[in-house]
Amino acid sequence: AAEEGFDLQDVGGAIEEAGHGPLPVLAVVGRPNVGKSTLVNRIIGRREAVVEDKPGVTRDRVTYEAEWSGRRFKVVDTGGWEQDVMGIDASVAAQAEFAIEAADAVVFVVDAKVGATDTDEAVVRLLRKAGKPVVLCANKVDGPSGEADATYLWSLGLGEPHPVSALHGRGTGDMLDAVLEALPEAPAQTFGTGIGGPRRIALIGRPNVGKSSLLNKVAGEERVVVNELAGTTRDPVDEMIELGGVTWKFVDTAGIRKRVHLQQGADYYASLRTAAAVEKAEVAVILIDASESISVQDQRIVTMAVEAGRAMVIAYNKWDNLDEERRYYLEREIETEFGQVAWAPRVNVSARTGRHMEKLVPAIETALAGWETRVPTGRLNAFLGELVAAHPHPIRGGKQPRILFGTQAGTKPPRFVLFASGFIEAGYRRFIERRLREEFGFEGTPIHISVRVRE
Ligand code: GDP
Ligand code: GDP
């Protein structure tokens, strides 16, 4: 039954195109109420970015995928910030600072009806110092009569102001054309080919779990800020670190360093940076403070890495600080809170004593190998055939949906497409995932399974 009318190669190729490379990152910054969130929604073509802007609510989600003229990129929404907490100027400056460090290009949004304010000009100084490409968005130009307002913004010295109505969509196409010119092509030279330089690791975890301690421990004297190596990259926040005889690129390590002036709101920016680091990385090393209860924030970070489709290692830190009782409860918590990522290699470490540091690299290598695993179509179908014969899908409405055949459409992470004769229930999909993992490994990687029904 497996051959009828389907070219498996074609299917695989078409899906591979929609794969998960690291995409260039665009940050949208500007004062409160200039229309950032409205613009982000316009760019991503969805309504999801604008959520209840309740003070004190930290948004889980800050990056969104967008596409324009066939090019895909990430948009970071720096809106949703509670201004009261640290004052408008400080929050806008922090946004700009984030954008400077983590983004490939910036859209700076100004309210053309209001004109340039002192705060706007302060941000411009920050942006210009950073040297990242900036596209100036003169927002709230809802009709031709507003165009004159936009021209005043030449005074900011950021080049041509693009008159836009984020609300109605006017001018956004032209602005996005400018954005595409400003954004680098997806950094394909380092992705996946194995010839493009060191593998990229994001060391992530909530504040105080021990990220900078771990980095210092593993890096020792070897620590090199990438920016100091001429020509390696223009991003000053990645570091090359040699571990186990191999050089790795730890992405976005600037986010790990303490930011004294950002006491309040630090969590929000930590979550922005985590998202950005995960996007740039191939493998996420998630650090958990094992001496404390696993928190919602820990879970969010895990979810972020899974949803981004990255390879993953979970490191339980501060192992020197655990008594018998805490160890007991930790194991229970891991089972209940992290049951869905039981496939992630686990290491119990202490950044303080250096315990089990040598286990980190093998765990990372295992996760990357799982992430890159490709199952040949013949082997996959032999496996599926046996599985389906031994454990058929339950009969529904007098019919028995059957998996007809499958193909692995991509790697990094592994993605499968199964063709079925009827609707396959979620429970059966999970069963298939479980058996795929038993059979082929996939340690340290999420796997995606999509089912297409053939009538
Ligand atoms: P943010 O704080 O910068 O994210 O701003 P929002 O996207 O929340 O927008 C602030 C207000 O400006 C909202 O009431 C929007 O409806 C309004 N707004 C946003 N874009 C436009 C626009 O292009 N034209 C007009 N007239 N209003 C806009
Ligand atoms: P970060 O915010 O994740 O970078 O965390 P830090 O590296 O700054 O560590 C936060 C605190 O935890 C510091 O006081 C560290 O000394 C402490 N710490 C980090 N790793 C360990 C560890 O393995 N054991 C113990 N007992 N303390 C640790």
Taking only the tens place, the pLDDT of each residue in 74-88 is 887 776 444 444 555
Q: Which ligand is nearest to the CA of 78?
A: 1
Instruction: State both tokens at 292.
Output: 């404390």
Which tens digits make up the pLDDT trace of 82-129?
Answer: 444 455 566 666 666 666 666 889 999 999 999 999 888 888 888 887
> CB within 6 Å of ligand 2 — which residues?
205, 207-213, 256, 317-318, 320-321, 350-352
Measured CA distances, 58 to 87, 104, 261 (Å): 17, 24, 19
- With the most atoms of ligand 2 within 8 angstroms of its CB, the residue from 204, 208, 348 to mutate is 208
- How many A from CA of 350 to the centre of ligand 2? 9
Ligand 1 contacts CB of residue 274 (under 6 A): no
Strand partners, 139: 111
DSSP class per residue in 198-250: S-EEEEE-STTSSHHHHHHHHHGGG-EEGGGSTTT-S-TT-EEEEETTEEEEE
Task: Work out whether the CA dihedral 189, 190, 191, 192 comes out positive or negative.
Answer: positive
- How many C-beta atoms lie closer than 10 Å to residue 88's C-beta? 15
Nearest CA to ligand 2 atom 11: 208
- How many A from CA of 130 to the centre of ligand 1? 27
Which tens digits make up the pLDDT trace of 250-261?
Answer: 987 766 655 444
**C-beta of residue 150 within 8 angstroms of C-beta of residue 141:** yes
Ligand 1 contacts CB of residue 35 (under 6 A): yes
Nearest CA to ligand 2 atom 7: 210
Residue 41 Cα: closest atom of ligand 1: 7
State the pLDDT at residue 192: 37
Q: How far apart are CA 309 and CA 223, in angstroms?
A: 28
Q: Distance between terminal CA atoms of the chain? A: 14
Q: Which residues are documented as binding site for GTP?
A: 30-37, 77-81, 139-142, 205-212, 252-256, 317-320
State the pLDDT at residue 101: 66
Q: How far apart are CA 450 and CA 172, in angstroms?
A: 34
Which tens digits make up the pLDDT trace of 128-139?
Answer: 877 789 999 999
Of the two residues 268 and 204, the one the predictor is more confident about is 204
**What's the mean pLDDT when you consider all of the chain?**
80
pLDDT higher than 80, residue 13: no
pLDDT cut 70: percent of the chain above it: 76
Of the two residues 36 and 328, the one the predictor is more confident about is 328
The stretch 291-309 carries a mean pLDDT of 93
Q: Which residues are documented as binding site?
A: 30-37, 77-81, 139-142, 205-212, 252-256, 317-320
Q: How far apart are CA 397 and CA 448, in angstroms?
A: 28
pLDDT higher than 80, residue 232: no
State the pLDDT at residue 239: 82
Residue with tokens 């571990």: 243
- How many A from CA of 179 to the centre of ligand 2? 40
Ligand 1 contacts CB of residue 422 (under 6 A): no
Residue 397 half-sphere exposure, CB side, CA atoms within 13 Å? Answer: 4
- Alpha helices by DSSP H, listed for 286-418, are 296-307, 324-337, 360-371, 377-390
State the pLDDT at residue 330: 97
Ligand 1 contacts CB of residue 51 (under 6 A): no
Question: Cis omega (within 30 of 0) on the bond before 413?
Answer: yes
Q: How far apart are CA 340 and CA 327, in angstroms?
A: 20
Residue 216 Cα: closest atom of ligand 2: 7
State the pLDDT at residue 57: 37
